[in-house]
Amino acid sequence: DGGITQSPKYLFRKEGQNVTLSCEQNLNHDAMYWYRQDPGQGLRLIYYSQIVNDFQKGDIAEGYSVSREKKESFPLTVTSAQKNPTAFYLCASSILGDRDEQYFGPGTRLTVT
Amino acid sequence: AQSVTQLGSHVSVSEGALVLLRCNYSSSVPPYLFWYVQYPNQGLQLLLKYTTGATLVKGINGFEAEFKKSETSFHLTKPSAHMSDAAEYFCAVSDLTQGGSEKLVFGKGTKLTVNP
């Protein structure tokens, strides 16, 4: 089955530690996205990538980093510089050039204490 | 830049009643519009989308939405609510970044409660 996988589902970290969230897709999509979701805030774009080895900051990139070494993979690192890292993180992908829908993974809930 | 406003962060209906979730957008180009549904602790699933053509679009689970350009609206409806419809619903519009990349702009969401 084609789709997007995110792991782990739940992640717990101590304040001051960096943590990497995994996102893999087998849909052969060129574009991939990371969103952060907080209650009542909707989805906010962190980073996106249209091609391997290239990515751009979204609306709330501070305290986050990404890489895109393979088409299928787009990991997100939440660094210790992110002031409020506890949130639900969603990865998505889409076909480029269609202005079309994005396909979402199941999400990772990160709790930092 | 495009934006989306969802009127009502919480909507409560009785089972069997009409569901109406409101979405208004602003767009400087012909909009592509989407409704997604999210169940607790899950990702988003596409309900329906409008790109071009027929302004009344039908989606999964009996939902439909009508694109009204004059009102800049894309409200989501379902004639008869089911308990399984309880979820959070997000309206989104397609946008372009400053660099010309594509992205979606989401509303803040409407949480639907269905009462027995």
- In our burial notation (b when 16+ CB lie closer than 10 A, e otherwise), range B55-78 reads eebebeeebbbebeeeeebbbbeb
User: With an 8 Å Cβ cutoff, are A40 and B9 in contact?
Assistant: yes
- Interchain CB distance below 8 Å, A100 and B51: yes
Neighbours of A83 (CB within 10 A): 7
Of A9, A41, A90, the CB nearest to B44: A90
What is the C-alpha separation between B111 and B90, in angstroms, rounded?
9
Q: How far is A16 from chain B (nearest CA, A)?
A: 25
First-to-last C-alpha distance (Å) of chain B:
41
Q: How many C-beta atoms surround the C-beta of residue A3 within 10 A?
A: 14
Closest CA to B91 of B21, B27, B28, B42: B21
Residue of A nearest to B48 (CA): A101
Q: Let me know how long chain B is.
A: 116
- Residue A88 has a pLDDT of 96
**For residue B61, which phi and psi values (nearest 5 degrees)?**
60, 25
Give pLDDT tens digits for B75-108. 999 999 999 999 999 999 988 766 667 789 999 9
Query: What's the pLDDT tens digit per position in B10-64?
Result: 999 999 999 999 999 998 778 899 999 999 889 999 999 999 889 999 999 999 9
Here the tokens at position B16 are 């069997």
**A58/B42 Cβ within 8 A:** no
Q: Is the dihedral of CA B63, B71, B101, A97 positive or negative?
A: positive
- The pLDDT profile of chain A, 113 residues, written as one tens digit per residue, is 679 999 999 999 999 999 999 999 999 999 999 999 998 888 999 999 999 999 999 999 999 999 999 999 999 999 988 999 999 999 999 987 767 789 999 999 999 99
pLDDT recorded at residue B98 = 65
Contacts of B49 in chain A (CB under 8 A): 100-101
User: How many angstroms separate the CA atoms of A79 and A100, rounded?
Assistant: 31
Tell me which chain A residues have a C-beta less than 8 angstroms from the C-beta of B46.
101, 103
DSSP of A36-101, one letter per residue?
EE-TTS-EEEEEEEEETTEEEE-TT-TTEEE--SBTTB--EEE-TT-S---EEEEEEEE-TTS---
Q: Which candidate in B21, B33, B46, B103 is best for mutational testing of the A interface (most A CBs within 10 A)?
A: B103
Query: What's the gap in Å between the CA of B93 and the closest CA on chain A?
Result: 9
**Considering CB atoms only, which of A40, A48, A107 is closest to B43?**
A107
How near does any CA of chain A get to the CA of B19, in Å? 20
| Of A58, A89, A43, A95, the residue nearest B4 (C-alpha) | A43
User: Which of A43, A94, A101 is closest, CB to CB, to B106?
Assistant: A43
